[in-house]
Structure 1
Amino acid sequence: MTLPRYDINWCKNYAKQHNGECLSPEYLGRTTRHLYKCENGHEFYATPFAHIHKKSWCNECSNRDVAHTLDFVKEFIESKGGALFSTEYKNVRQKLEVQCNKGHVWNPTFQNLYHNKSWCPVCSGTGRRTYGKRIRVKD
């Protein structure tokens, strides 16, 4: 992947594409944090490098709609052919008890399942097996 040529105009155009503005008066480098303002008035610092590689924008706005429910988590896991044994859900970093369609049980976080797009470590060959009817993999 060829990196774009960063400059203050690139920063301003990127902000404009997201209905925001770049408040930094000059370009400070691709790994230096620049000041931005989103369309909702939140001011935040980010690097041009993070914009391209992490596809990030305003953290406050992007986290606003992320509160998933237990039903959402369950539907997501079932859409992958799995089953959710956990009966409560607090946040994306909470460990869950999940079973894949081949019966392997492990304890991932929803962040790993949803955002990192991981699935059963045994089926993918990254887990370890234990004796018993269920296969349990500890993170």
Structure 2
Amino acid sequence: MTKLTINDCIELAKSKGGQCLSDVYVGYKTKMLWKCNKDHHWYTTLDGIKNKNAWCPECSYIGVGNRYRFDGIKIANQLAIEKHGKCLSTEYTNMHTKLLWECKKGHQWERSLSKIKHRSQWCPYCCKRPPLSINDCMVEANKRGGKCLSTEYTSCEEKLLWECSDGHQWKAIFRSIRLNKSWCPECNNYSKNQDKLTEILENELKLKSFSNFRGFGWLKNPDTKRKLEIDIW
């Protein structure tokens, strides 16, 4: 068996369009420094280069990524064709990144490949469920006398910033505001405390209603001496 030298390493690297940057060859299992034609540097053994046909790991990783992205956009295009529509996006990152779609009626919307492929979702306009926007959030807040302070709506799971008519601010997902009919947690807690206090006083004073009650002798107008209603609301 012919003994290998550093020249064999140099020639092997050259055949792959690169270079062997090490000056000395010690043995088959000793790592050496290599460089590809894209100027990537890495250490590996001659055995890995010669017998396992390995080369630049960074180029290999990029190649796999490009193939993955190509396959993703290819799948998206095929799914759109099956639904008589189009995938208008040209770049694919992953299954959960939104792509731009168009149905046969020309409606356009954004949705991830995962939802199109695995949840069988298609055009939200055709099924009369247009995608929500930040304007929907603002309209809902306005109905309650408040504001949606966020400027962008990305998904039903993302918390937005809201403000009630009393200036309280909090974060909540749009779904809880719209479907669960929840609103300002601070006002809600305050209202619950008021109701509880009213219930206690009515029970203690044996009253059917605490509304317009002027039965406290100590609660008077200091000028007119007239009894006043207690205000707990």
TM-score w.r.t. the length of structure 1 is 0.46
Larger helix share, 1 or 2: 2
Give the structure with higher Rg (CA): 2
Pick 1 or 2: higher relative contact order, CA cutoff 8 A, min separation 6. Answer: 1
TM-score w.r.t. the length of structure 2 is 0.28
